[in-house]
Amino acid sequence: MEQNQENIASLSKTGAKDFFLNIGALISFYTVIGSVIDILFTAINTRFSKVSDTYDYIYSSSSSISWPVAMVIILFPIFLTLMWLLGKEYRSENGESRYSTIHKWIAYLTLFLSGGTIAGSLISVVYFFIDGQDITTSFLLKILAMIVIGSSVFLYYISEIRNKLTARERTIWRIFALVLVIGSIAIGFLVLGSPKTQRLYKYDNQKINDLTSIRYSIENYVYSNNMLPTKLEDMTDYSYGVTYEDPQTKEKYEYIITGENTYQLCAVFNKATSVQSKYSWNHTEGRNCFDQSVRIEKNIAGEAKPIQIR
C-alpha cells in the first residue's frame, strides 16, 4: 500500500515537472522564433524600403530591434536550458517523459502553431509584394528567411516525434540554432546600427517630436494673435508640456522668422532620415532647417483666421 502511494506521488511529481518544462520550452521557443523573424524582417524592410503613401516615419528616423534582440538574449539561453533538462529526463533510466502524452501534445501543438504562424507570415509577405509595396529583393529575402526557419522547425520536431534524434544530432541542432540567432542579431545591428547608433536615432526622433509640438504651438499663437511670435518663449501661454530645448545638446531649438507669415525651425541631427517621407521632417546629418508657413484668411466677420499651408 505504501509502495503504491509512493509510486503515485512520484508519477505526479514527474508529470508536473514534465508539464512545466515542456510549456516553458514552448513559450520561450515561440518568443525566440518570433523575435528572430521580427529582427530579420525589420532589417530587410530598412535595407529595402517598402513603397508606401501612409503616414510613416514622420516621427521616426529608424526602425528599432531593441525589443526583439532583448527577448532573444534573455529567452534563448532559457530555451536551451529547458531543452537540456528535458533531454536529461529522456536519458534517465525511467525516462517515460519522452513518450508522455504531454510531450506528444506539445510537439504536435508546436508543429501546428509553427505551420500557422509561417503561413500567416508568408501571406503577408506575398500580399505586400503583389500590392507593389515590396520590391523583388525584399520579397525573396523574406521568403528565404521563412523557408529556412520553417523547414528547420518542422525537421526538428518531426524527428523528435519519431524519436530519431541522437545526442549528437541534438548538439548539432543547438549549434545551428545558436548560429541562426547570433547571425540574425548581427544582421540587425549591421543594417540598423549598434546600440550606440540606435541611441542617436532616438535623440533624432525626439527632436522631430519636439519640432512638431513647437509648430502646433506656433499655430495656436498665430490663431490668437494674428502674428508670428518674436521668440519661442512668447508662446508659454499657448503650449503645454512643449520643450524648446534639444534633449541631447541642451541648446535651444532655432526659430527664425523669414517673412510675415513664414518661419523656419532648425535642429542638429545625428543621422540622416533612413526612410524618406512625402511629408516634412526629412533631414540629413547635421543642422537642418524646415520651412513653415501660415496663411491668414478673412472669415465672414472680417477677422483674421490663419490657416497652415501643408
Choose among 199, 137, 177: nearest CA to 36. Answer: 177
Q: Which single residue is written with the C-alpha cell 501612409?
A: 54
What is the pLDDT at residue 14?
Answer: 54
User: Which of 63-77, 195-209, 291-305 bottoms out in mean pLDDT, i.e. has the lowest?
Assistant: 291-305
Confidence of residue 94 (pLDDT cuts 50, 70, 90): low
Query: Residue 254 pairs with which residues in a beta bridge?
Result: 266
Helix axes 2-47, 101-130, angle to 10 degrees: 10
What whole-number distance in Å separates Cα of residue 166 and Cα of residue 275? 48
What is the pLDDT at residue 63?
Answer: 61
SS3 303: coil
Question: Average model confidence (pLDDT) for the chain?
Answer: 78
Residue 93 CA to its chain's centroid (Å)? 45
pTM of the model: 0.67
Residue 37 CA to its chain's centroid (Å)? 10
Q: Which three cell numbers stand for residue 126?
A: 506575398
- Across the range 258-276, mean pLDDT stands at 86
What is the pLDDT at residue 10?
Answer: 43
CA dihedral 274, 278, 281, 283 (to 10 degrees): 40
User: Which of 65-79, 91-105, 173-187 bottoms out in mean pLDDT, i.e. has the lowest?
Assistant: 91-105
Choose among 146, 138, 170, 157: nearest CA to 26. Answer: 157
What whole-number distance in Å separates Cα of residue 209 and Cα of residue 235? 17
Provide, rounded to the nearest whole percent, the portion of the chain with pLDDT above 90. 23
What whole-number distance in Å separates Cα of residue 215 and Cα of residue 280? 12
- Across the range 34-44, mean pLDDT stands at 90
Confidence of residue 55 (pLDDT cuts 50, 70, 90): very low
What is the pLDDT at residue 196?
Answer: 84
Q: Which three cell numbers stand for residue 86?
A: 528535458
Instruction: Please say whether the dihedral angle defined by the alpha carbons of residues 44, 47, 49 and 55, taken in this order, is positive or negative.
Output: positive
What whole-number distance in Å separates Cα of residue 5 and Cα of residue 200? 64
Confidence of residue 253 (pLDDT cuts 50, 70, 90): very high
Confidence of residue 297 (pLDDT cuts 50, 70, 90): low
Confidence of residue 126 (pLDDT cuts 50, 70, 90): confident
Do residues 237 and 277 make contact, with C-beta atoms less than 8 angstroms apart? no
What whole-number distance in Å separates Cα of residue 119 and Cα of residue 114? 8
Angle at 216 between CA 210 and CA 222, to 5 degrees: 135
- Per-residue pLDDT for 44 more than 60? yes
User: Which of 16-30, 73-87, 104-118, 133-147 bottoms out in mean pLDDT, i.e. has the lowest?
Assistant: 104-118
Do residues 207 and 269 make contact, with C-beta atoms less than 8 angstroms apart? yes
- Across the range 177-187, mean pLDDT stands at 92
One-letter amino acid at 70 equals A
Sheet with 286-298: strands ordered across: 254-257, 262-269, 286-298, 304-308
Q: Where are the alpha helices (DSSP H) in the chain?
A: 2-47, 66-91, 101-130, 136-161, 167-192, 195-225
- Per-residue pLDDT for 254 more than 80? yes
Do residues 91 and 37 make contact, with C-beta atoms less than 8 angstroms apart? no
What is the pLDDT at residue 209?
Answer: 92
What whole-number distance in Å separates Cα of residue 121 and Cα of residue 146? 8
DSSP secondary structure code for residue 94 in this structure: T
What whole-number distance in Å separates Cα of residue 130 and Cα of residue 248? 42
Confidence of residue 97 (pLDDT cuts 50, 70, 90): very low
Do residues 120 and 163 make contact, with C-beta atoms less than 8 angstroms apart? no
- Across the range 43-61, mean pLDDT stands at 59
